[in-house]
Chain A
Amino acid sequence: MHVVHKPSTGKRITLALFIALILFVASNFVDEYRIFQGAQVAAYLVGIISIVLLTGFSGQITLGQGAFMAVGAYSAAIVVQEFALPIWLTFFIAVIAAALFGAIIGISAGRLSGPYLAGATLAFAVGIPALANAIPILGGEQGLSFDIGFAPGKYADTVSPYKWLFWICALCAIIAVVIAVNLTSSGMGREWRAVRAHETAAALSGINPARSKVLAFTVSSGFAGLAGVSFSATVGLVSPSGFTLSLSFLLLTGAILGGISHISGALGGAFIIVIIPTIFEAWTEEASLGVATYLPGIIVSALLLLSIALAPEGPSEALHKLRHRGHRKP
């Protein structure tokens, strides 16, 4: 068996701090639009991690992660609006609210699997934004404002709002990655994988599959909540049109293209869904606008179809296997 070197939690945190430092430095060298896109990548990254945890590790298919993001984002915006709580606190509230919501859904979803679970989550993705439209406190179609404002104190004038946004989103993403990596290499992560691989076998070895699935749903929803609040910070707004079905599909696409069973794949996935549209928009700038509007979607969808046809577990998974096959050859 191939032995994988697993670094300790301490080393992971050191590495994370180092990455944080690199990002901090890098944010001083790139133009503001790239910084803004960096914040978007960070927000999507957390969203994709939530899918990787749920689908890749626990084996529960979700088509409605956007709904859990919406729950987190709306919770954050409401506590700011109604109770004027500080912004940093709202990130925790978003995580807790989405996780609670996920736990409730998870308990009922635990009875479903495969396409039935996918259908149920799909219903949430459709229903939650519509519900937001119907409840006056949620601000209807125009939604609620969610402004993370400027850097504190004397830095407000020197740190651009985009850097401030990027630092917050990147910090959230780094914390999310560290927690996710630790979770998946812990006993809990192994339980999830065991249940995914063979539910009966897992039960026979003392794992409670129902409990494990609900737990995965809860944790994944918490991540989605964090993604939701980060995403809202990038646009300053929490509205139904920000959490459409296409967002859920986009995240799932990112997860599959990045590699659904690795946390590291989530970063690739997030890059793909943010950068590809930018590249193709630049290419089609002078072409007719209709093409520019639909091409990114078509390209991303085509990549997804190709991936399903050629590498059903995702391109990064295929590469991973290829690499390992290489190792075994004399």
Chain B
Amino acid sequence: MIRALKNRVRVGAALVALAGLVSSGVSAQAAAAPGVTKDTITLGMTSAQSGAASPGYNKVGPAMRAYFDYINEKGGVYGRKIVLKLEDDKYVPTNAVNKVNKLILRDKVFALVGNLGTATHTAALKKTPIIKQGVPDLFVNTGYSGFAAPKKYPTTFMYLPSYIMEAKIMAKYIKDKFPGKKVGILYQDDDFGKDGLAGFKAAGLTFVAGGTQKYASLSQATVGLTAQLTALKTSGAEVIILFGVTSATAVAMRTAAALGYGTTWGPQFILGSVGADPTTLLTLAGATTAEARAATLRSLTGALSLSFLPAATDTEDEYVKKFIEINTAYNKGVAWDNNVLVGMNQAMLVVQALRAAGQNPTRASLVSALKSKGGTFASAAYSKLDSANNVGFTGYWVGKYNSTGVIAPVDGGKPVVYTTDSSTANGDVATSTFVRPAMPADGVPTNS
């Protein structure tokens, strides 16, 4: 037995030596761009496709894939077809680490696109080789300002305007239009919500005593928000900001109706942009009972929200019009809404970034192309993409929901877009003069 062991040890030692040789040989080889072949470019994405926080957001990935399918049909990007590997992290950070590891290490994707969620992506950046391997991490679908940090995360680019920008714009609007009113807030207790709070603070917006309420990010589906909404009601807040994910907004709206909203209680609700898609809110409510749907609609009517894209219901908009066409043909059975618009628009940006990276893209050329040319990309958004600073879009317009859940510019007419930055040193907000590029012919980018 012992002799056999000794022999095995010798074999093992030989193997170790061999391993050393092999690994030194491997590192000497120059590698072609991972995820790019003659015919394909493979991209990876992880998002909440199931679980408590998934409603609405789980439509973004498939919408991106639908747009890529459309582009593939039109010849792809310089002849290469785009393949999107979509993973489900359930909005749980530990899952996101596993999924991003799988995408980079096993699927060997060229770039990550549209990863969704603040806590999930923070964990992924910490414990996966995004930074080490220089994997382009495009259009992270969160407004957490901490991701726009070129020194810390050199390959990470945001998509949404930051939560700080949103909070500053919202605060200015509240101070202008509701002067002297008591303001309350319900926020998600993580970096997402705290980023927003920092923005409100920068803008000098103060909350009424007892009017700062929070919820844990994964508990909204099970625990309910009765305690928080009751506290907000008791605080006497006349303007209430709901700064959370869509599933949390849905519960809050239903709870507000139960607490007498629309009859005995009439605060002005303002919804954070990421939790405000009316289709998802009403679908979530409708999934329980018809009464719940009616209650949600009652709470939603007259509520304000911020958007950086046109309203999904604005079918006159050239981008919206084309994306609806693509959705009908390539995303069969999926109801058109704001989430689909977000996904399609994101995918169109990805295609432009890939084109800008050149005929033979590398990870480095993709990052530098996005940095230098991202600001000129065609997009449905009413504000500039500040990818030179790894920031997403930079402006919002304020809209109001009518009694059927359709949002339109609050003062009628064309949306007035406000712009600001992610600085917490001031609350400066200006009216944007940005002129949106026209939709590329047939919705197919031809940039280089």
- Give me the interface of A with B, judged by CB distance under 8 Å: 11, 14-15, 18, 21-22, 24-25, 28-29, 31-33, 36, 40, 133, 140-143, 145, 147, 161-162, 234-237, 239-242, 285, 289-290, 292-294
Contacts and interface: CB of A to CB of B under 8 A. Distances in A.
A312 to B, nearest CB: 32
Nearest to A148: B127
B105 A141 contact: no
Contacts of B191: 142
Nearest to B96: A235
B12 interface: yes
Given A25-B15, A140-B190, A142-B93, A241 B218 contact: yes
For chain B, the bracket of interface size reads 35 or more
Interface in B80-126: 85-86, 88, 90, 92-94, 97-98, 101-102, 105-106, 119, 122-123, 126
B156 interface: no
B258 interface: no
A262 B106 CA distance: 33
B16 A242 contact: no
Given A235-B93, A237-B97, A28 B22 contact: yes
A31 B105 contact: yes
B217 interface: yes
B94 A242 contact: yes
A144 to B, nearest CB: 11
Contacts of A161: 129, 132
Contacts of B22: 28-29
13 contacts: A22-B12, A25-B16, A28-B19, A29-B22, A31-B105, A31-B106, A33-B106, A36-B101, A141-B119, A162-B105, A235-B97, A237-B127, A290-B50
B5 interface: yes
B288 interface: no
B86 A236 contact: no
Contact of A241 (B88, B94, B98, B129): B94
Contact of A21 (B12, B61, B189): B12
Interface string B1-23: 11001001100100110011011
B49 interface: yes
A29 B19 contact: yes
B329 interface: no
Given A133-B216, A142-B191, A241-B92, A236 B105 contact: no
Nearest to B214: A140
Contact of B12 (A18, A133, A290): A18
Contact of B19 (A18, A25, A292, A294): A25
A292 B2 CA distance: 48
Nearest to A40: B98
B9 A18 contact: yes
Contacts, number: 102
Contacts of A237: 93-94, 97, 123, 126-127
Contacts of A31: 105-106
B218 A141 contact: yes
Given A21-B9, A141-B119, A142-B93, 13 more contacts: A14-B2, A18-B5, A21-B16, A28-B16, A28-B23, A32-B105, A133-B216, A140-B190, A141-B190, A235-B123, A237-B127, A240-B216, A294-B50
Contacts of A162: 105
Contacts of B92: 241-242
B98 A235 contact: yes
Name the 5 nearest CB pairs between A and B, nearest first: A236-B127, A28-B19, A33-B105, A33-B106, A242-B94
A31 B102 CA distance: 11
A235 B94 contact: yes
A289 B49 contact: yes
Contacts of B129: 32, 161
Contacts of B190: 140-142
Interface in B284-300: none
Given A18-B12, A236-B97, A36 B217 contact: no
A32 B101 CA distance: 9
Contact of A239 (B8, B19, B50, B94): B94
Contacts of B123: 235-237
Nearest to B218: A241
Given A133-B216, A140-B216, A236 B12 contact: no
Nearest to A236: B127
Contacts of A141: 119, 189-190, 216-218
A143 B23 contact: no
A234 B12 CA distance: 27
A36 B102 CA distance: 9
Contacts of A290: 49-50
A83 to B, nearest CB: 21
A143 B16 contact: no
A234 B16 CA distance: 25
A14 B5 contact: yes
Nearest to A243: B94
A18 B9 CA distance: 7
A320 B219 CA distance: 44
A161 B131 CA distance: 13
Contact of B93 (A18, A239, A294): A239
A141 B127 CA distance: 18
Given A31-B106, A141-B218, A235 B127 contact: yes
A142 B88 contact: no
A43 to B, nearest CB: 12
A157 B1 CA distance: 39
B113 to A, nearest CB: 16
Contacts of A241: 92-94, 218
Contacts of A140: 189-190, 216
Given A33-B105, A142-B190, A236-B123, A25 B12 contact: yes
A294 B88 CA distance: 10
Contacts of A133: 216, 219
A40 B9 CA distance: 26
A143 B93 contact: yes
A25 B22 CA distance: 12
Interface string B213-224: 000111100000
A234 B2 CA distance: 35
A31 B101 CA distance: 12
Nearest to B118: A142
A22 B216 CA distance: 44
Count chain B CB atoms within 10 A of each CB in A24, A162, A239 and give the residue with the most: A239
